[in-house]
Amino acid sequence: MAIMRLGRVQLRCPNWEKSVHYYKNVLGLIETARDENHVYLKAWDERDHHSVILEKADSAGLDHLAFKVENAEDLDYYEKKLIEYGVQEVDRIPAGYRIAEGEAVRFRVPTGQLVELYHEIEVVGNGLPLVNPDPWPDGLVGMAPPRLDHLLIAGDDVEGTSNLFMDVFGFNMAERLVTEEGEEYIATWLFKTNTPHDLAVIKGPQGKVHHVGFWLDDWNEIRKAADLMAKNDVMIDAGPTRHGITRGLTIYFFDPSGNRNEVYTGGYMCYPDSPTVTWTTADIGRGIFYFEGEVNERFTTVFS
């Protein structure tokens, strides 16, 4: 029984038309479907039908995040484990509730976010053949990230959400930020694949999201992304810079609705036997932005 990866996020977008244009033409995701209130998108090297759903809404923020499981039977297994663990809100979402998807299990984590598990989704491919492919398909636009990479969610009970993902789903903790006394988690970076964080959790306003991270292949792509942001009047929050935590290279910026995005590359490989790296608040500036050694106020106070 296994979670394979972060599969999708659904973001609320009050600035609807500009947000759809931005995600398709500036960030460079590919539209695969739409209905009256949603647009379905994928990064170019993802084979499933979608990884990002934009929702027409009155306020910005996260509707839910979802992980893809390896087998359909995993839904029954994890549903039982969640109930036994004491999670109160565990529901089934029927097949066809969203375009191109089968059924899902939905639950709420202690930091307040809705999370889903799913297996069945239409496979549309990445635009390349499975025999003798080129490195990338023609027609890519914008920053063109190859994949959705991670999410940073916020809430009061960082330890509770972190423990749930580790105890129920077998996530591991790559890094953590603790108080000077070491008694309380301020943030954790959790992984199920080989990246330092498939999901991160930070102390903050309940049920909110700090950012959605997309992968780029190298530092040159990060630099090109910064040029595209400047060219298209995208509000940059921080970067280009490097993290001490995860060692990744990064830029943070906002979509037209106020949801923070990140493009990210680098970092290091993680394995189940990798030790957890601990950071304390005394060195948090260098941990978050290694070059600058300090964090701007907006980065620590703005969530959606």
Indicate the helix (H) or strand (E) that contains 249.
Answer: strand 248-254
- The question of whether 49 is a catalytic residue gets the answer no
Please confirm, yes or no, whether 64 is among the known catalytic residues: no
Instruction: Band the pLDDT of 58: cuts 50, 70, 90.
Output: very high
Tens of pLDDT along 230-283? 999 999 999 899 999 999 999 999 999 999 999 999 999 999 999 999 999 888
CATH code of the region 3-118: 3.10.180.10
**Model confidence at 209, in pLDDT bands (50, 70, 90)?**
very high
Domain residue extents for the chain: 3-118, 147-301
- pLDDT exceeds 80 at position 225: yes
CA distance 297 to 260: 14
pLDDT of residue 300: 87
Q: Which of 50, 64, 210, 243 is catalytic?
A: 243
Active site residue 252: yes
Is 150 a residue of the active site? yes
- Confidence label for 1 from pLDDT (cuts 50, 70 and 90): low
> Per-residue pLDDT tens for 70-94?
999 999 999 999 999 999 899 999 9
Catalytic residue among 22, 40, 78, 252: 252
Q: Compute the radius of gyration of the chain from its Cα atoms.
A: 18
- Catalytic residue among 150, 185, 210, 264, which? 150
Look at residue 180 in the predicted model and tell me its pLDDT: 77
Residue 21 annotated as catalytic? no
Active site residue 38: no
pTM above 0.85, yes or no: yes
Architecture of domain 147-301: Roll (3.10)
> In this structure, what token pair is assigned to residue 52?
């990002």
Please give the C-alpha separations between residue 165 and each of 76, 123, 168, 169, in angstroms, as whole numbers: 17, 27, 6, 5
Taking the C-alpha atoms of residue 24 and residue 29, their distance in angstroms, rounded to an integer, is 5
Instruction: State percent of the chain over pLDDT 90.
Output: 90
